[in-house]
Structure 1
């Protein structure tokens, strides 16, 4: 699985477009797996620093427990309604919890806002990226998807 920097090096256009969609809005939707295997959806802020995609979770939050038990996640950008819609990005992969105090401090100091109190810090390792946008002309959707080992596929849906 790739770090954000690895994705930027392998697929710079896709990484740039997806990263921009994650930077446009502050809040996104994180999917994790509950103990019984059913999905849990949670609001989540993300940050980019040192070539990594990070997210912090308040201490003891259920989504943190989900990720500690099973690191698989999906993350979907916030969306807006047309005509202002600029696209959606989805990421899937493994979230790795960072427990080294120095690494946590370094990563959190680069973020705009550090959650008060205890925090679980996760670094994302990517297995899949999907970008959905309007085509030119705006009468169809363009889907670009990347999977590890496969590269980018582009499809149009009319």
Structure 2
């Protein structure tokens, strides 16, 4: 699995454009797997820090239970208002790893603007893929990346 920093190193043109989509708006859509294997979507926020991508969740939230059971997930950027989607539509394929080491948790908390209001779960998100779909002139341009595989660009008309 790959950290955000490794993604930036492997795809230096794509990673900043994908990150821009996730920093343009606060709320995004997280897809997790329910116990029966069916998908569940939840609203979430993410945090870029120190070359890593993190997600926090209230204690007892179903998305946290899903991620603790099976860390595979997907994150879809908020497209924002309107229909033109400036900057494109970004999606990440991820594996969530819960922070359990006290030193990792302390470092995570140190980077928060304020302490969580109660018990919580925190997850480091490791990338297994990324995609950015953009309208370019009269066609769609889909840039996708997999760890170690470079960036692939496909045009759809």
Q: State TM-score, norm by structure 1.
A: 0.93
User: What are the Cα deviations for residues 7-27 of structure 1, in whole angstroms up to 9, with x where unaligned?
Assistant: 111111111000011000000
Q: Distance in 1 between matches of 2:25 and 2:44?
A: 11
**TM-align CA RMSD:** 1.3
Q: CA deviation at 1:113?
A: 5.1
User: What are the Cα deviations for residues 40-80 of structure 1, in whole angstroms up to 9, with x where unaligned?
Assistant: 10000000001100010111111111011100000000013
Does residue 4 (structure 1) correspond to residue 4 (structure 2)? The answer is yes
Q: State TM-score, norm by structure 2.
A: 0.93
Report what 1:69 is aligned to. 69
What residue ranges of structure 1 are gaps of 5+ in the alignment?
none
Runs of at least 4 residues of structure 1 off by over 2 A? 80-86, 111-115
Contact in 2 for aligned 1:87/1:133 (Cα 8 Å): yes
Q: Distance in 1 between matches of 2:65 and 2:33?
A: 10
Contact in 2 for aligned 1:47/1:111 (Cα 8 Å): no
* Count of aligned residue pairs for this structure pair: 156
Q: Distance in 2 between matches of 1:142 and 1:33?
A: 29
Q: Distance in 2 between matches of 1:31 and 1:123?
A: 16
Q: Distance in 2 between matches of 1:17 and 1:111?
A: 24
